[in-house]
Amino acid sequence: MNHPHCALGFGCVPSELPWLVDGFKHLVNDWIFSFSRNSQLTGDMLIYSRPSKWVEKFPMAAGSRQSPVNIETDRVESDHEALISKPLRWKYPATASRKLVNPGYCWRIDTDGEGTLLSGGPLMDDVYKLEQYHCHWGCSDSRGSEHTVDGQAFAGELHLVHWNTSKYKTFAEAAKAPDGLAVLGVFLKVGKAHEEMDKIARLLPYVSHKDDCIEINEPIDPSKLLPVRGGRAGSSNSAAQRCVNPCMRWAGRIIRPAENKGSQWQVDDNGYWTYLGSLTTPPCNESVTWILFKRYIEVSHHQLNIFRNLRKFPRGEECPCHENHGVVRDQQLPSATATRQSRAARMWQFLSHETPNWRRHRHQQSSTSLTS
């Protein structure tokens, strides 16, 4: 019998495992994850060790540009030069979305990258290609995002993962480089149903269990998942912002393809926050330029509940989990003053439905260790 709290998202523990590219998996699997049929878990489940121990095997976890962070809007300033010189621009053909996957920790759509483009803004003249996009969500509608804005969490967070094709030959190579990856982050807030997200939601019952995957026949346009219209995830009125916090860099205007106008571009001046950060799970490489839109998109309760119905275990296996708890890693300080000792001391705590949404950490575990 499938236990209701085994839904991935994972309830309280969305995952960043898409970051674990081939070059890193053997390091992570040997240490961070273990599998024991003597535990209360059954099936091929991955069990997280305490985040406070990451630094022992992955020293980068104590680095000065670790993610995620809390965006403090009263510590940002406008960057008018960015507004004029290097607007952010992207292009995503709907046909690039090829396969929907349930990897056991989120839903993920893999792309072929053909015709996709992300450039400008903090990326300057480098061209990045879309590799995949995936979504995080939580147990409740108010706890699901990795990043927060002035301490506020959102129902979910969508990540569009890109790699630098101007400098690197493969995604795996780029994931190890300081300027190798760029992630567009979009906050999700509960409201009306999202039309493009609904295309994904309708397919999720076909990938209900871990390792399920299907080819995508209906075009899904990633650009329609971006907050071209809607609310704003933040209190600032300025489109271009530089954060005083040294972790945050600068933000500028956005240019997106104009609808039905071929290769022309049009401006969206609602802006974004950006900073140099890291992978959010081991090996915690500091290779990510984060670009977080100020505006959010709305999704419905029904759509979020479909996400929560996904399972993190394969077909034919049971998951006798009984509670929703998980390991939480605090959001990371953007300064080298966050020493290894102080970071390790505050990196983990137990998450219940009542605790704040700091850093989600990521896989459900048995009631004898940690469960989500």
- CA atoms in the 13 A half-sphere facing the CB of 120: 23
Residue 51: phi and psi, rounded to 5, are: -60, -25
- Lowest-pLDDT range, 177-181, 248-252, 283-287? 248-252
Q: SS3 for 152?
A: strand
Nearest to 107 by CA among 35, 158, 181: 158
Tokens of 59: 């020293």
89-93, 101-105, 200-204, 327-331: range with lowest mean pLDDT: 327-331
Is the Cβ–Cβ distance between 14 and 290 less than 8 Å?
Answer: no
Predicted confidence at residue 108, as pLDDT, reads: 94
Cross-strand partners of 190: 299
Q: What is the pLDDT of residues 175-197, one digit of tens each?
A: 999 999 999 999 999 999 999 99
The CA distance from 190 to 154, in Å, is 9
User: What are the structure tokens assigned to 259, written together?
Assistant: 């609808």
How confident is the model over 65-110, as pLDDT tens digits? Answer: 999 899 988 887 666 566 557 788 899 999 999 999 998 878 999 9
Q: Residue 330 carries which DSSP code?
A: P
Model confidence at 211: pLDDT above 50: yes
What residue segments make up the domains of the chain, in order of their start? 51-227+266-349
Kindly give the pairing relationship between strand 288-293 and strand 181-190: parallel
Q: In angstroms, rounded to a whole number, what is the distance separating the alpha carbons of residues 136 and 146? A: 8
CATH code at 51-227+266-349: 3.10.200.10
**pLDDT: which is higher, 225 or 259:** 225
Q: What is the mean pLDDT of residues 241-270?
A: 42
Q: Would the pLDDT of 358 be above 90? A: no
Q: What is the pLDDT of residue 78?
A: 63
What pLDDT does residue 161 have?
94
In one letter, which amino acid is 70?
N
Phi-psi region of 90 (alpha: psi -120 to 50; beta: other; left: phi over 0): beta
Mean pLDDT of the chain: 69
Q: Give pairs for 237-242: CB < 8 Å, separation 24+.
A: 238/76, 238/78, 238/271, 239/83, 239/269, 239/270, 239/271, 240/78, 240/79, 240/80, 240/82, 240/83, 240/271, 241/76, 241/77, 241/78, 241/79, 241/271, 241/273, 242/76, 242/77, 242/78, 242/79, 242/82
Q: Give CA–CA dist 294/252, Å, rounded.
A: 11
Q: Among candidates 166, 184, 164, 185, which has minimal Cα distance to 175?
A: 164
Region 136-159: mean pLDDT is: 91
Tell me which of 13-27, 121-135, 284-298, 355-369 is least confident: 355-369
* In contact, 86 and 70? CB cutoff 8 Å: no
Q: Which residues contact 116 (CB under 8 A, 6 or more apart)?
A: 90, 91, 92, 93, 96, 129, 130, 162
